[in-house]
Structure 1
């Protein structure tokens, strides 16, 4: 996906990494060094297998990824209906992911999916998503559990059995996409500022 950078006035591609809570199970062998390699795009053609760590001498190891290759925003995807049953082990793993992303100055967002299934008021009218006490409590709980700001937790509704597009669903999804774009733009701005200071 591309957007026009405010800073360089050029088309810039951005890379998002999505980590779904269902994939971050307790048996996941992913370690911090693997994360660093994923975040910095040392995997050629995204040849990533969490059960087989990559080594710098591997033919799939990209030794010198450029800015365009790196991850520009990490997005954690969590089913809002499962917020209360996320285990401490999984929360710890998310903490490792977050810490490594912070060390690399990569912005992070959390998508809370299935808001319509979690709250009957929202199921009746998606416009109520920010008025729902249940949704607001879940956003706050995820913010505390994962150590991200409240503004980084974004509620969305999934398309899963609809045959037609729905404007209210699209508004939530596009709002989430805009936040991802802004976060990625911030990453580019920070990168350019660091480059300018080092010159």
Structure 2
């Protein structure tokens, strides 16, 4: 059985400094938009909060935990909407934010409501709103922004899917996610997948993360993910979160930075196109 290919089917730079500097220096082409907004969304335990922790760790240069992660949990640890800046006052903040939300659960009255996600994409949901699994947010409400600007909207939707659990996602969860995807399609919103836990899904990648784009198994998992969600392969990115490490590992950083570099341009393109409408 072939487990890996001799050549990478995606080229990746395994040096972090250049990518970090590129992202720090990135300029949004619309002067009125100060930050690109990314919404992380997916099943409980897929690694949404860990994604944000990993990104903040990279730019802090040390382990950083600001979002409570629900590793292998059946219930979401994130209960309210929270935009997370990247960077700090000393070194400066980067021109993008990642928003953490409650995870998707299969039961109708559990987890985040699809309508709440749609409202968030459109910029109606204010920071610190506590999600209600039974009743989605609507106006008038202190946490409902009636007339959001382009800066309030999300500029890219990031699905977070665990590579080793794609086949285990139940139909109800998929239907909820497809409802959100349908709305995002109507908004012409960029949509990408962060495919987490690649080290768990593939022993070759676990031994050496640099084999991720040589792994036949990872490629097949990406294809499975593409079929399940309807997201094209070139918008699916395998990533590895920090979850047990206490030291910085450059290969983990590089895989995430490669992905960030791509999606920041996707989001900036959306802002430009939206402005032209």
- Matched residue of 1:17: which SS? strand
Corresponding residue SS for 1:75: strand
Instruction: Supply the distance in 1 between the matched residues of 2:35 and 2:114 (Cα, whole angstroms).
Output: 26
Runs of 5+ consecutive residues of structure 2 not aligned to the other structure = 1-22, 45-102
Does residue 43 in structure 1 map to residue 125 in structure 2? yes
TM-score (norm 1): 0.89
After TM superposition, the structure 1 = structure 2 runs for residues 16-35 of structure 1, keeping only pairs within 5 Å, are 16-22=38-44, 23-29=103-109, 33-35=115-117
Task: Find the residue that maps to 2:127 and give its secondary structure.
Answer: helix
CA distance in 2, matches of 1:79, 1:70: 26
Matched with 2:164 is 81
Please state which structure has a larger fraction of its residues in helix.
Answer: 1
Looking at structure 2, the residues matched to 76 and 111 of structure 1 have their Cα atoms a distance apart, in angstroms, of 6
Question: Secondary structure, in 3 states, of the residue corresponding to 1:111?
Answer: strand
Partner of 1:159: 242
Report the Cα offset of residue 50 of structure 1.
4.1
- TM-score by structure 2 length? 0.65
Query: Match of 1:119?
Result: 202
Higher relative contact order (CA 8 A, sep 6+): 2
The C-alpha deviation readout for 1:59-115, integer Å capped at 9, x for no partner, is: 221111111111111101111110121112211111111111111121111111111
Residue 114 of structure 2 contacts residue 180 of structure 2 at CA under 8 Å; is this kept in 1? yes
- Distance, in Å, in 1 between the alignment partners of 2:187 and 2:117 is 11
Match runs of 1:129-140 below 5 Å: 129-140=212-223
Distance in 1 (alpha carbons) for counterparts of 2:241 and 2:224: 21
Q: State yes or no: 1:141 paired with 2:224.
A: yes
2:114–2:176 Cα contact (<8 Å) kept: no
Change (3 A) 1:137 1:44: same
Structure 1 regions of 5+ residues with no counterpart?
A: 195-199
CA RMSD of aligned residues (A): 2.0
- TM-fit CA distance, 1:58: 1.5
Match of 1:14 in 2: 36
Secondary structure, counterpart of 1:178 in structure 2:
helix
